[in-house]
Amino acid sequence: MPAALDTLLTWMGDSRLVLPVMAALGWLWWKRNPRVALEWAICLGALATTVVVSKLAYKAFGVDWRTIGFFTVSGHSALAAALYPLLGYALLADAPPPLRRAAVALGGCIALAIALSRVLGHRHTPAEIITGLAVGLVVAWLMLRRWHGALGIPLRSTPVVVGAALVAVLAVAILPNVPAERVLSHIAWRLRT
């Protein structure tokens, strides 16, 4: 895979970009129906807990499933699978059903590309990205199944999502990178001692 494409896909699944966009969606949903935003926050909390617990269990206590190559849940894959299909739906909720389905499918393809880049870059095993995709897609599926009629964002609100992404891009470019893996390794070290 070309280095530039790998970097782009890695960045598109990075929490520093994904979380501000998720927060912007949550804020827009809160304005229309606080219950949607609350369930979104709960689902994202469960997703984050799953990823962090798997990483700490492996790093602190060596919990893994070596026979299938599973060590930790891929956070990039999970976040991408939770966000991009929902973002596609939210942006095109008022479009005809085939266009909405295409937007969700495109979001799923973006998440799959991000996940595949993690395997091709030797950052995760296939089992880890499959698990990450599954966790993220469950979040997206739950939100679409329960709230599909309330997930649309008005066209006039699109700049909020784009603005959140641009602020995230600037933050990534300007602020120093604090790798989550390093932070989790430090926490795991503390847990072991």
What is the reported pLDDT for 65? 84
Residue 47 near residue 82 (C-beta atoms within 8 A): yes
| Whole-angstrom distance, CA of residue 160 vs CA of residue 55 | 32
Q: At what angle do helices 75-91 and 126-147 cross, to 10 degrees?
A: 30
Find which of 6-10, 62-66, 126-130, 187-191 is predicted with most confidence, using mean pLDDT.
Answer: 126-130
Among left, alpha and beta (phi > 0; psi -120 to 50; other), residue 124 is beta
What is the reported pLDDT for 95? 92
Q: Is pLDDT of 33 > 80?
A: yes
pLDDT tier at 185, thresholds 50, 70, 90 = confident
Average pLDDT over residues 21-25: 94
| Whole-angstrom distance, CA of residue 123 vs CA of residue 115 | 10
Average pLDDT over residues 70-99: 95
What is the reported pLDDT for 178? 65
What is the reported pLDDT for 108? 97
For 126-147, the pLDDT digits (tens) are 999 999 999 999 999 999 999 9
β-bridge mates for residue 65, sequence order: 70
For 108-131, the pLDDT digits (tens) are 999 999 999 999 999 999 999 999
| Whole-angstrom distance, CA of residue 175 vs CA of residue 9 | 20
